[in-house]
Structure 1
Amino acid sequence: MSLPAKVMRDELLEKRSSGLLQLWKKKRCVLTEEGLRLHNCRGGGGGDARSSAWSSRAKELRFERMATVDCVEYKRGLVYFTVVMATGKEIDFRCPQEGTAWNAEIALALVRYKNLQAVQTGRNRHLSTAHLGSTGEDEEL
C-alpha cells in the first residue's frame, strides 16, 4: 500500500470542457507530487476550494502520463495554459494572474518528477551493470 501523496497546492482552477461549446468549468485542483487531481463542483457555491461542495471522485492527470505544460497567454488578468499529455491530448486551463501561477507550479512539479524518474532509472542501470560486472570473469589478472 502506498502513502498518500503530499499536497503541494489545493485551489480553484478553470478547465475548458472538451464538448462542443468548450465552456470554462471551475474545478478544485489538488497538485501533488504524483500529478494533478481535478474535482467537479456538485453545488453552485463559489468561494474557495475547501469550503465548497466537491465530488469525492476526481480525474487524475498523473505526471507519468504528462509530456509538458505550455501555451501560456496572459489576457484580462488571467493566465491561460495547456497541459499536454504523452498521448498528445491537450487540456486547457486558466487561472487568475496574481500570485504564483498554476502553470509554473505544475511545470516545476512535472520537471521535479521527471528528474527523480531519470535519477532512479540511472541508479537502476548502474546497479544492474555493477551486479553483472561483479562476476569477476572479465577482470584482468
Structure 2
Amino acid sequence: MLESRVLKEGVLEKRSDGLLQLWKKKHCRLTEEGLLLNPPKPPTKPPQQESVGGQVKELHFANMKTVDCVERKGKYVYFTVVMSEGKEIDFRSRQDEGWNAAITLQMVHYKNKQAILAVRSTRQKQQLLVVQLAGQKTAARSQEAA
C-alpha cells in the first residue's frame, strides 16, 4: 500500500502493547504516504532469507491524526502517533535522528496535498454544474422561441 519512494529509513523503537510495555526495535521506512514498520534487520542475513520475517505494519497518513512530542530525555526523544480511531502508538528514537520531525512534516505535507485535491475536485464539480445549468437555460430559451 505505501509503495511510494522512501524519504527516510532507519531504526525506531516502538513501545509494545503488552503488560510489560517493552521497547522493541523496528526497521522503519518513511514514505510520502505513511510509515512502514518492519521487524529489525539482523546484521548478517543471507540474501535468500530476505522475504522471511515478521509482519509489516503500515501507518498511513490518511489514518493519522497527529504526532505529539512527549519529551526529550537523555539521548532519546519520545513521541506518540495518534491515529484517527484514537489509538496511540508510542515511539522513541535518538534525538539526533529527527524521526518525530520528519514524520510530522511528511504528515502535514500529505494532509495539505489531500486538501488541495479536495478543493480542486469541488471546484471542478461546481464548474460542471454551472455549465450544465447554462446549457439547460439555453435549451429552455430556444424551445420558448420556437
- What TM-score range do you get, normalising by the shorter chain? 0.7 to 0.9
- Gap runs ≥5 in structure 1: 47-52
SS of 2:20's partner is coil
Matched to 2:81, the amino acid is V
The partner residue of 2:58 within 56, 60, 82 is 60
Q: CA deviation at 1:4?
A: 3.2
Larger-gyration structure (1/2): 2
2:90 is aligned to 92
Matched to 1:108, the amino acid is L
SS of 2:38's partner is strand
Rounded Cα–Cα distance in structure 2 between residues aligned with 1:3 and 1:59:
10
Q: CA deviation at 1:41?
A: 2.8
- Gap runs ≥5 in structure 2: 45-49, 139-146
- Note the 1:118-129 alignment, pairs <5 A: 118-129=115-126
Instruction: Give the number of equivalent residue pairs.
Output: 131
Runs of 4+ more than 4 Å apart: none
Rounded Cα–Cα distance in structure 1 between residues aligned with 2:99 and 2:57:
17
Conserved? CA contact 1:41–1:55, under 8 Å:
no
Which has more strand, going by share of residues? Answer: 1
**TM-score, normalisation: structure 2:** 0.81
Q: CA deviation at 1:77?
A: 1.1
Task: Give CA-to-partner distance per residue, 1:41-60, whole Å, 9 cap, x none.
Answer: 365x49xxxxxx78364100
- Cα RMSD of the aligned pairs, angstroms, is 2.5
Conserved? CA contact 1:27–1:41, under 8 Å:
yes
**TM-score, normalisation: structure 1:** 0.84
The partner residue of 1:117 within 114, 119, 125 is 114
Which has more helix, going by share of residues? Answer: 2
